[in-house]
Amino acid sequence: MSETSMTIDELLGRETAPAALALADGTVYRGRAFGAKTVTSGEVVFNTSLTGYQEIATDPSYAGQIVTMTYTQIGNVGVNAMDDESRQPFLSGFVVKELFDAPSNYRAEGTLDEKLAAAGIPGLAGIDTRALVRRIRDGGAQVGVLSTDPAVQDADELVERARQAPGLDGVDWVAKVSTRERYDFTEGIWAGVDGQLPRPARPSQKLKIVAYDFGVKRNILRLLVEQGFDVTVVPATTPASEALAMNPDGIFLSNGPGDPAAVEGVQPIVRELVEEKPVFGICLGHQILGLALGGKTRKLKFGHHGGNQPGKDLATGKVAICAENHGYAVEADSLRAAGEPVAITHVNLNDDTVEGLAHEAKPLFSVQYHPEASPGPHDAAYFFSRFREMVERSAAGERVTGAQISGAGNAA
């Protein structure tokens, strides 16, 4: 068993409450606690984004995971209610090198420490995050236990807990984050203080979509509203008949956490929906769509988490700077073996994983990365207008396919 010798806070002479992160491989990292005083477990992953820690902490896709930020200074702009991506943080823990306890920003309404404490989420600061990230990168994602409880700091006990704790495989995390009741979402994108940010005019023709909530981020819903959609959000297991009874013009499948193959009951629902309406999926929604079409998914070594992933559009040859947050990927060969006429429209240039799909006979397409997260900042925003075009043309009675909308006729 290895254990770091001295924390940054100890070197600086700070008075701290103890905290420890123990990995299933026996490694233990010690630092200072922030957030809630508790003990939690989860798959330990790292995120390479330089900004957006609040959006990351409130992204439901991180349910069941302990997130390590590779950027060194976290918390310096505080937090505010407007930037939350969900009703509460769902991640298991948050790990940073240096936590700023006194943020300075005109929009700040509190600190990251306070926000995580209120949500019951523990944090660990003051460790060598480079060492932790390299261990995950080289050895792969693994389960860890994070303790900010001063009475639970024994290394052997924490390591044993980590070895006994469940990971993401085979666990339906969507059931833990999805809305319990359907609701209408009407909020558009932020226009800035006193409305000084320009916002394009929304389309005049109103179209209705039903959005399946597998752990949806609010900014996705905002951008759907900006495309002129009337958006109704429904629980993940809403029967297809119930969604179709709302007479929508299209269906959206959202992002979400965990193992797509473990999400209970959704594949038959999606198979029924794609026969009736245009469908667009993002992240977990993309993976579930791939499974519903007969494909398979696989676990990645340490996943894609961050705002600097290269996503290539095979139809145009353009490479977008992409924000991603997923630990599983659709297997390209499995889609071909299933016999569905599905084109692979986008790939990740780091590892050639599937980043986008489009059907050659039906109005449906999907993307693995997050076009709403603005890392480029707007490299991938065209997916929302593509969805609008597909739904609009379908509603007008035109026979349109996802491949036509995606320009996938010439894609490899």
By three-state DSSP, how is residue 368 classified? coil
What b/e string do you get for 330-364 counting C-beta neighbours within 10 Å, with b at 16 or more?
A: bbbebbeeeebebbbbbbbeeeebbbbbbbeebbb
What is the C-alpha separation between 345 and 337, in angstroms, rounded? 17
DSSP 3: B
Q: How many CA atoms lie within 13 A of 7 on its CB side?
A: 24
**370 catalytically annotated:** yes
**181 catalytically annotated:** no
Of the candidates 286, 340, 370, 392, the residue annotated as catalytic is 370
Of the candidates 55, 85, 372, 392, the residue annotated as catalytic is 372
Of the candidates 283, 324, 340, 392, the residue annotated as catalytic is 283
By three-state DSSP, how is residue 149 classified? coil
Q: Which residues contact 202 (CB under 8 A, 6 or more apart)?
A: 188, 225, 226, 227, 228
Whether 354 contacts 360, CB under 8 Å: no
Whether 278 contacts 401, CB under 8 Å: no
Distances (CA, A) of 383 to 15, 85, 107, 369: 49, 19, 30, 11
Q: Which residues are catalytic?
A: 283, 370, 372
